[in-house]
Amino acid sequence: MFLVILFTTAVKGQNIFIKGVVTDTSGLPLVNASVINLATRQGAITDNEGRFSLSTSSAKSTVRIEVSLIGFISQKMNVEVGKELQVKLLPTQQNNMEEVVIVGMQAQTKRTATSAVSGVLAKDIENQPAPSVDQLLQGRVPGLNVQITSGEPGVAPTMVVRGNSRVSTSIDDPNVAQARALSGPLYVIDGIPVNSDDISSNLGATGTNFLAGININDIESVDVQKDAAATAAWGSRGANGVIYIKTKKGRSLKPEFRVNIYGGLVKKPELLTTTVGAAERQQKIDILSQYATPAQMASLPQMLTDRFNPAFNNATDWQGLFYRNGAIQNVDASMSAASNLLNYRVSMNYYNEKGIINSFGFQRYSFRGNFDFKLGPKMNSQLVIGLSKSNRERGRKYENNSDDNTPVSGSDQPSSLYHLTSFDSLNFNGLYSKLRNDNSDDYYLAALTINYNILPKLKYTLQASANVTASNQDYFEPSNIDAVADLDPDNTPTSSHAISQKGTYSQYFISNALNWNKKFITGNSNAHNILFTAGQQFSSDVVNSNYLGAYDIPSNDIHVIPGKNALQPSNYDAYNTNSNYLASAMLSYLGQLQYDYNGKYILYGSFRTDASSRFGKNSKWGSFPALGAGWVISDEQFMKGLKNTISFMKLRFSYGVSGDNSPNYYGPYNSYIISGTYNGGTAIQPDYNNGLTKDNLSWSRVIQKNLGLDIALFRNRINLTVDVYDKLSKDGFYDFFLPFYTGFDKINFNAHDLWVSNRGAEFQLTVRPLAPGSKFQWTSQLNVSYNKNLFAKLPNDNRTLVLDDGHGYSRIYAVGQPVYEMFQIKYEGVYNNAGEIPFNPLTGKGLTYYKGNHTVVPGDPKWRDVNNDWDVWTGEDNGAAYGDRIPTGDPNPKFTGGWVNDFSFKNFNLTILSIFTWKRDVINTYYQTQISNIVGGYSSSIYTFASGRLPNLDGVDYWTPEKAQSPGYKAGYPSLNPFGPSYYQFIPISSMFNEDGSYLKVKNVTLSYMIPMRLIDRVKLKGARVYGMVDNVLTIKNSTMPNPELVDQLGVYTGGAYPTPMKFTLGVDVQF
């Protein structure tokens, strides 16, 4: 009996343990999470590996527990006793206003921030198959338009925050690209501002994106500061928004190792349907036979008539020569730990992407170390070291590295009938070994921060950094490349060509700051919180570049640039050499102050003043103030009864001024050139091309107002952020061209009467339809941005300006109209028969085009006669400079955004990212050029028609005399008559090829599985995750363009940009 009682007592007193591990949604263990038995109130704390062991004496088979951690949503759940758990907590920053964001140079919570700041966390961008983080922000941040203009690895996308604010004085590619760059944001990496515009504008040896030197998996978060209250603290650099990138640090007491490996296939695009071989020859003859006389048909080019000639009886689809399936590989390894004395994280990365075009690719090696040291009870320091080396292969004929210069444009491809030798094929597909275009970039960063606590709430911070970007291009083109490229039997080899470019951009930055963070408690426990920052900064940057190019190299076996005497003596102009040295500096003083009362009423102010060496002696200093206010309405007494419905509500307002530094390093100074000899000596004179100096050249300014509303409903199940803004850009830098008798070409000045307005609204809606404790979770986030871009004021009493490149592209600058608006003759269809052609009732003559040089006949395009003079053209002899051109399209998208859906069930997670652009006009010159080649482009040429590529005309309803006989016939396109007169009917002077550039794209689909702890425990792992993803999945569009995403700065689709390929990757992420 005694033994039975003893045994029974032992059983009743025996504790049973509930064990498990607590992680975040990415699988990383959470330290110090609380696990409580709700029946007994017994608790446990997770260790450095996120593990816990909670004892219970309950005889029940299930126990209800609660798991909680500051910064994460608490979970209550029923668990089976004796079964090991794996609990994933959702961070609260996904659900309420406790997320920490960077506002100017202060860290604030969204609850107390009065600024418009949107963030992206590491889990949203980790392991994505892209070289740089900027591409991964597409569709995730309201107000940020990320335009991928090329799918080539290593190329920078166009980044615009809240609309274009800078304009170009001409519409040639370099000027438009520079103006678009000036509309780009400032990048700040761990507190260090980086002048990305200066790097891209002055270090063009390789054209590689500087952000491609940073490993994406080293990034902890990205905050996009959009309104002036946030960006004014950066003064002259924050006019177009600030992207603040924070890198990862250690988080575990014990050393933690993480290895992430992924790889996969980069799929070549589907080939466009083309007409090749015998079908091409027959279709060309059919087109010619509809318009040619018997004599003309008897004298057709040999390549159309001699079908048995081996030189012209081929069927080459050029696309197949260019494309291949590529591959992608990535290996990450990191080690980190955190203690009271030392916090460190060291990482290494290897990334390699083999491009889908032969001899294209990108490769990167990187290292990054973040170290935090405690130097004493009042002092600590941080050291950041970053190193990377990237190689960008571009093994085809390119003398520059513009991101849209690729060989895949259909308009540049010759007829499929030509015979290709094996050598020709090697050249066309980029595999010719003697053609070389190697590009390398090295990036070095060293940054030291020292913090000293003068008083418990007063801290002094010293930060010093140096970052250097070094670029090198090594290019060689043998003499026979040009002959092969033209496939012209009369084209003989010219000369070898070699280029060597080297450039270094060095930036140095030092900052001194005092931070005071004080909380005052008054009667009734009211809290007054003050956060104050005062600082001084100095930065300088230096550009060194050298260019050496040579033609007429005597042998294709010499792949370098020889001495000048080794060149052909008859051509001393074969050398093109120059070197450049640029240097500038900036001195700044700043202050930020934030006050809140009980976290309910918030006031914010900042002031910054900058002095730049790039401005004239009379205007070096610029001042940039900002103000903000916030009201947490949900904390008011009258809202208490709605707490279960309205969890949080805040109204905020901000106003501020920020500015732009000049892109010209020496704008206030005269520059000189050597100009022959004078009086027996070297003659030096001012360089008229660089323009006249202006001592009053000063800061351009952006004035911005923002009204925002943050709402969380139903215990943070629904979160909505709305911002409405008014952004006005003034005093932009503008080149004013001078009369020739002044001796100078232009003068660069602040256009005080050139104002660009961007007004819009941003919406971010996050919904979690299911209860937090549900096994199945679904989070849906929709980002929508609306922006209306227009000129608010123009010089010379709002005089309209028209920019024309001389080849059919015209843009109009007019008050109330958008920047870079298309200015063309309005295309309204086709004149199908003579009865549709209007006649002048006074003269009896029919409508004419091209200043009377062409009388309209059936089959011609129907162009709108705007000025009613019975002649349609771009300009008239009667003084009407603009002729019949009118605004026809806006290349600036009205709406952009993204939609992210995240699903999780047990250990599975599925994320789908979609992006969209709506209400954007695009000129499809890809198709226009091919059609234009049929009729000879700028002049009729049967040889051009015969030797050029024939586009796929199946389903293209172009006018023919035979079709016109059908009653009621309405043609889709004008006549394609190679013998007809050319009046430039198929170039972009008209809106014939304007299309809707809207699209919806499924950008990325990611499926991951977290391996259960009970399985990985056996191999001593802290966590393991396997995943697979597909990138660039599907595009839905309303245009004939193969990819409406690849549009240039002016809204032109050339078809020549590197395609955005579909990528399939598989990976494994392990922590131990």
Q: Give pLDDT tens digits for 616-661.
A: 878 889 899 999 999 999 999 999 889 889 999 999 999 999 888 8
Query: For residues 849 and 845, what is the distance between their CA atoms, to the nearest angstrom?
Result: 12
**Which of 388-397, 861-870, 881-890 is the least confident region?**
388-397
Tell the burial category of 643 from Cβ atoms under 10 Å away from its Cβ (0-12, 13-18, 19+): exposed
What pLDDT does residue 269 have?
86
Q: What's the average model confidence in pLDDT over 453-458?
A: 92
Report the percent of the chain where pLDDT is more than 90: 37
What pLDDT does residue 394 have?
80
Instruction: Spell out the domains of the chain, with CATH numbers in brackets.
Output: 2-89 (2.60.40.1120), 117-251+324-389+400-410+424-562+574-676+699-813 (2.40.170.20), 277-315+827-883+922-996 (no CATH)
What pLDDT does residue 889 have?
94
What pLDDT does residue 446 have?
95
User: pLDDT of 670-716, one tens digit each?
Assistant: 777 777 666 777 777 676 666 666 777 888 889 999 999 999 999 88
Left, alpha or beta for 775 (phi > 0: left; psi -120 to 50: alpha)? alpha
**Which of 5-19, 211-225, 1048-1062 is the least confident region?**
5-19
Q: What's the average model confidence in pLDDT over 433-451?
A: 88
What pLDDT does residue 504 have?
92
Exposure string over 391-420, b if 16+ CB within 10 A, otherwise e: bbbbbbbbeebebbbbbbbbbbbbbbbbeb
Answer yes or no: is pLDDT of 758 > 90. Answer: yes
Higher model confidence: residue 392 or residue 399?
392
For residue 247, the Cα-to-chain-centroid distance in whole angstroms is 20
Answer yes or no: is pLDDT of 563 > 70. Answer: no
> Is the CB of residue 363 less than 8 Å from the CB of residue 352?
yes
Question: Which of the 8 DSSP states describes residue 412?
Answer: G
Query: For residues 122 and 217, what is the distance between their CA atoms, to the nearest angstrom?
Result: 7
Answer yes or no: is pLDDT of 401 > 50. Answer: no
**Which of 34-48, 160-174, 421-435, 763-777 is the least confident region?**
421-435
Q: Residue 626: beta bridge partners?
A: 606, 656
pLDDT band at 822 (very low <50, low <70, confident <90, very high): very high
Query: For residues 600 and 604, what is the distance between their CA atoms, to the nearest angstrom?
Result: 13
Answer yes or no: is pLDDT of 565 > 70. Answer: no
In this structure, is the dihedral angle defined by the CA atoms of residues 166, 172, 178 and 181, taken in order, positive or negative? positive
What pLDDT does residue 999 have?
95
CB atoms within 10 A of CB 515: 21
pLDDT band at 385 (very low <50, low <70, confident <90, very high): very high
What pLDDT does residue 941 have?
65
What pLDDT does residue 745 have?
67
In this structure, is the dihedral angle defined by the CA atoms of residues 1011, 1012, 1013 and 1014, taken in order, positive or negative? negative
What pLDDT does residue 476 have?
83
> Is the CB of residue 156 less than 8 Å from the CB of residue 130?
no
Query: For residues 420 and 427, what is the distance between their CA atoms, to the nearest angstrom?
Result: 10
Question: What would the two tokens of residue 441 be?
Answer: 């970039």
> Is the CB of residue 956 less than 8 Å from the CB of residue 929?
no
pTM of the model: 0.85
What pLDDT does residue 4 have?
39
Mean pLDDT, the chain, integer: 83
Helix (H) or strand (E) holding 744: none
Answer yes or no: is pLDDT of 912 > 60. Answer: yes
* Greatest extent of the chain over all pairs of C-alpha atoms, in Å: 130
Q: What's the average model confidence in pLDDT over 434-461?
A: 91
Planar angle of CA 755, 887, 859, nearest 5 degrees: 165
Q: Which of 589, 398, 580 shows the shortest CA–CA distance to 481?
A: 398
Answer yes or no: is pLDDT of 1061 > 80. Answer: yes
Planar angle of CA 757, 759, 762, nearest 5 degrees: 145
User: pLDDT of 520-535, one tens digit each?
Assistant: 888 777 889 999 999 9
Residue 217 CB partners (closer than 8 Å, separation 6+): 122, 126, 127, 260, 332, 334, 347, 349
Amino acid at 1011: I
Per the listing, tokens 């063309």 go with 824
Answer yes or no: is pLDDT of 749 > 80. Answer: no
Q: Which of 879, 883, 880 shows the shortest CA–CA distance to 863?
A: 883
> Is the CB of residue 25 less than 8 Å from the CB of residue 49?
no
User: pLDDT of 65-86, one tens digit each?
Assistant: 888 886 677 788 888 777 778 8
Answer yes or no: is pLDDT of 484 > 70. Answer: no
Answer yes or no: is pLDDT of 509 > 70. Answer: yes
pLDDT band at 433 (very low <50, low <70, confident <90, very high): low
Distances (CA, A) of 330 to 366, 444, 733, 1006, 1067: 11, 21, 43, 16, 9
CA-CA-CA-CA torsion for 977, 980, 984, 988, nearest 10 degrees?
-10
What pLDDT does residue 691 have?
62
CB atoms within 10 A of CB 70: 9
pLDDT band at 1006 (very low <50, low <70, confident <90, very high): very high
Helix (H) or strand (E) holding 518: strand 496-522
What pLDDT does residue 786 have?
97
Query: For residues 169 and 167, what is the distance between their CA atoms, to the nearest angstrom?
Result: 7
pLDDT band at 918 (very low <50, low <70, confident <90, very high): very high
Answer yes or no: is pLDDT of 426 > 90. Answer: no
Answer yes or no: is pLDDT of 406 > 70. Answer: no
Strands laid side by side in the 62-68 sheet:
43-45, 34-37, 62-68, 75-80
Answer yes or no: is pLDDT of 188 > 50. Answer: yes
Q: What's the average model confidence in pLDDT over 149-171?
A: 82
User: pLDDT of 946-982, one tens digit each?
Assistant: 877 787 787 788 898 888 888 888 888 899 888 777 7
Distances (CA, A) of 506 to 132, 151, 510, 540, 626: 21, 28, 14, 8, 31
Distances (CA, A) of 477 to 433, 485, 558, 569: 10, 12, 10, 20
In this structure, is the dihedral angle defined by the CA atoms of residues 550, 553, 557 and 563, taken in order, positive or negative? negative
For residue 656, the Cα-to-chain-centroid distance in whole angstroms is 26
Higher model confidence: residue 108 or residue 596?
596
What pLDDT does residue 372 have?
92
**Which of 371-380, 812-821, 961-970 is the least confident region?**
961-970
> Is the CB of residue 53 less than 8 Å from the CB of residue 59?
no
What pLDDT does residue 768 have?
92
Q: What's the average model confidence in pLDDT over 100-129?
A: 80
Answer yes or no: is pLDDT of 569 > 70. Answer: no
Answer yes or no: is pLDDT of 253 > 90. Answer: no
Q: Which of 237, 250, 241 shows the shortest CA–CA distance to 222?
A: 241
Q: What's the average model confidence in pLDDT over 297-311?
A: 84
What pLDDT does residue 807 have?
62
E strands, 238-312, where?
Answer: 242-247, 256-267
